[in-house]
Every structure is written in structure tokens, then in C-alpha cells.
Amino acid sequence: MLSVSLYAQDEHVKEYVIEAYPRWYGNNNYTIQGNIGINKTTDDISRVRYYLKPSFTYGLNKNWATHGGMGFYHSEYEVIEDSYELRPFLGLSHFSQFNDKWVMSSYFRAEERYIFSLPEKEKKETLRLRLRLQTAYNFTPSSQKNNWHRATLGIEGFKSYTNDTDIDIYSYETRVILGIERNLNEKNKIRFELAWKYLGNPTQVSGSDINTVYFKIQYYPIWGKLLNNILSQGEVNE
């Protein structure tokens, strides 16, 4: 398992992610989507993680939606044993559009993490809660091609719970995320994110905390009945 002791004191880490996020819009009020990506860290344990997260969103109305899905993860390390995870999750989101340019959203999610280390297949479990607040400013309509469409600013907080004291994970995580999106055409866009991640209790800073600079590139292909779906204006990503 990933061990806290493997990190240097006050560790500074770089993390890179390449991801595709295809989404299909069904009739009226639901979507099916999924995250497919590779995550690479440059630190003492040098991890590469491959993941797939299919999910389903159901719009209660134009402002509220429920979410559910399952994440599959496989992590490869240079200095410790590899692992894989199953992460079923449920979530609730809210979307507000103040005018044509400015929108805000919130997203709360609870996920159960089942972590299996290889080759022993030792099983660990933990519950993780996540809350994200995000605001976005639209430069141009989403229908315009080849334009920088939107800039975003978000903050996320994570809290993990477990009864197993042998699980070597940080209980608290905080992220501040800057993003910018470019429309390629009406149903395809690309997004760039730069984030700061802080692993550790934000109210009790210590020498074992981990600061991460996080860079992500996401590609969004879209299919389905976009115009007839109430979620098309209030999309909230998993």
C-alpha cells in the first residue's frame, strides 16, 4: 500500500493527467458519461495510475441533478507494490446561471474506496466525501467553433473516514483549480486545468504535508440529443 513514510518531509510533487470525458445526452433529463485517463506523479514513489469511471446523471430539474457511477483504478509504483481500486459513488449537484456569462455550480459526492494491493490482494476500505464549489465565466456562446469559450475557478475539499489504522492515506485534501476551455466545434471541446493540491489537515499544518502542482488536459466529445436535454446548460463534471 501507499505509505506516508515514503514521502519526504514537506513534499512538493508534480502531477500530470491526460483524460477523455465522453458524454451522451439522452431524452430530456439524463446523460451517460465516463472518465478515461492516465495520471502520472513525479515524487519519491513515482506513480502511474490508469482509470475508467463510467457514470450516470439524472436531472431532477434545470438546477438539481443526481449522480452515480463506479471507478476502476490500477496504480503502478516504482518502489512499492502495485494496487487496484473499485470506487462506487453517489452524488448530488446544483447549478445556477446568473446571466449569459456567469454561472456557478456545487457538487457533493460520497464514494467507497476498496483498495487491493498486489500480489497479496490485501483489501482495504475507506469512505471519502467530496465537496466542490465552482464558478465559470463564458467568453463566447458554446455554439461558436474554435473559440476560447470559458474560464473556471473551483475549490474542492475531501475528507476520508476509516476504522483501519493501517491504511496509509491522508484524511484531508484541498484543491484550488483554474481551468480554461476551448470549443473545437459544437460537440467537441478541450479543457486545460492547473491546480494546487494540499494533502494534510488545513487547520493543522505539519512538516509531513504534501503540496502538489497538478496539470490536466481533458478532451470532451459529445453525442445525443443536446437541445432537448435539461442538463445541457448545467453540465457538472464528475
Q: Is the CB of residue 136 less than 8 Å from the CB of residue 150? A: yes
pLDDT of residue 235: 76
Instruction: Print pLDDT tens along the chain (238 aa).
Output: 333 334 444 567 899 999 999 999 998 899 999 999 999 998 767 789 999 999 999 999 989 999 999 999 999 988 778 899 999 999 999 999 988 899 999 999 999 999 888 776 678 889 999 999 999 999 987 777 888 989 999 999 999 998 765 554 568 899 999 999 999 987 899 999 999 998 877 666 555 567 889 999 999 999 988 888 989 877 788 7
Instruction: Name 3's Cβ contacts closer than 8 Å, sequence gap at least 6.
Output: 80, 168
Give the CA radius of gyration of the chain.
18
Alpha carbons 105 and 84: distance in angstroms, whole number: 31
Which amino acid is residue 62, in one-letter code?
K
Which amino acid is residue 54, in one-letter code?
P
| Whole-Å CA distances, 205 to 131, 159, 201 | 21, 16, 6
The beta-strand segments (E) located in the chain are 11-20, 23-25, 30-42, 48-59, 64-76, 83-97, 102-117, 122-138, 147-161, 172-185, 188-199, 210-224
pLDDT of residue 207: 55
Domain ranges in the chain are 9-224
Does domain 9-224 bear CATH number 2.60.40? Answer: no
